[in-house]
Amino acid sequence: MDFSRFFIDRPIFAAVLSILIFITGLIAIPLLPVSEYPDVVPPSVQVRAEYPGANPKVIAETVATPLEEAIQRR
């Protein structure tokens, strides 16, 4: 028997089944996990560089700035 023919020959069964599926959907809606603002962790990179004997200005100019620019380009 054809699948469509089964429901055509039994319209009450088809209607009841449709109503049951609809009611099941209504019951399931409040159970869906939905959040207005989901937890999103921004990507981060941690870099450690050493320059023994250099002052903070030299480190910023020769190490930190070139590293930041290289990381931002990717």
> Is 41 domain-assigned?
no
* Residue 1: predicted pLDDT: 64
Sort 37 into a burial class: Cβ within 10 Å, 0-12 / 13-18 / 19+. Answer: exposed
Separation of alpha carbons 18 and 11, rounded Å: 10
> Is 69 domain-assigned?
yes
Same domain, 26 and 52: no
Q: What residues make up the domain containing 17?
A: 1-31
Phi then psi for 47, rounded to 5 degrees?
A: -125, 140
Same domain, 74 and 51: yes
> Is 27 domain-assigned?
yes
Is it the case that residue 18 has pLDDT exceeding 80? yes
Query: 59-71, pLDDT tens digit by residue?
Result: 888 888 988 888 8
Separation of alpha carbons 6 and 55, rounded Å: 84
Number of domains, the chain: 2
Same domain, 2 and 27: yes
